[in-house]
Amino acid sequence: MTLLSKRLQAVYQMVDAGTRVADIGSDHAYLPVELVETSVVNYAIAGEVAVGPMSRSKTDVEKFGLSNKIDVRLGDGLAVINQEDSIDTVVIAGMGGILICDILSRATEAQLSNVQTLILQPNIGEPLVRHWLIEHNFDIVDEDILSEDHHDYEIIKAQKKASVDELTEAQYLMGPVLMTKKSDAFVAKWQRKLNGYQKAVDNMHNAKKIDEAKIGQMKQYIKYVEEIL
């Protein structure tokens, strides 16, 4: 039986077989344990900045007899990765987009030198994450979206390239791959957002001080979403 939530299952699905994975902010280390137990990967690092979760994960990994395949390490962001670990895939899931970008921006060149794939699951702030990826030559190759416990979660998979094309504003907002897949979860999310934007514009028109710039931005979002749905 899997330990993974629907959200972490979707992250798990994005990991390529045979890669060497670092799960940063791993908390309970469920993802590395599932990846190794199902033989998707042979080696993983569970990185965690908080002592409590890190030592609990260490105990669990030992209990499952996986200490030879999963290193549970205490540390801030990608500081848990050494060049000789040959980590090619970094997962950062279950945090806000600002924190994910901050963790990635603080990584040294040596820590990122072997990294070919990033699998990121921001709880909010997805456009920020897409901007970081494109600015750092990571091409968005896959995306998924799902709803769990009344929250929409997006997963973004990106691969290092020599150069990548800029995205349009609509693609940063909604996701270049998600826009083409147009799954039911995607349509439901953006239908809800569209209603929210329309209500916000009505409220702003009725406000004492009318903020034309904000109304303009909202109307632009409405246009993008209507075009896609």
Residue number with CB closer to ligand SAM (17 or 50): 50
Asked if 117 and 92 count as a contact pair (C-beta separation under 8 A), the reply is no
Query: 5 or 220, CB closer to ligand SAM?
Result: 5
What is the token pair recorded at 164?
């990548």
Is the CB of 75 or the CB of 215 nearer to ligand SAM? Answer: 75
Q: Which is nearer to ligand SAM, 90 or 179 (CB)?
A: 90
- Binding positions for ligand SAM, rule: CB under 6 A: 8, 24-27, 47-50, 53, 76-77, 93-95, 103
Min CB(2)–ligand SAM separation in Å: 13
Q: How far is the CB of 24 from ligand SAM (least distance, A)?
A: 5
For the CB of residue 77, give the shortest distance to ligand SAM in the complex, in Å: 4
Q: Which of 92, 90, 91, 94 is nearest to 123 (CA)?
A: 94
- Report in angstroms how near the CB of residue 25 gets to ligand SAM at its nearest: 3
Structure tokens at 35: 């990846």
CA torsion sign, 135 to 136 to 142 to 146?
negative
- As measured in angstroms, the least distance from the Cβ of 61 to ligand SAM is 15
Q: For ligand SAM, which is the closer residue by CB, 81 or 103? A: 103
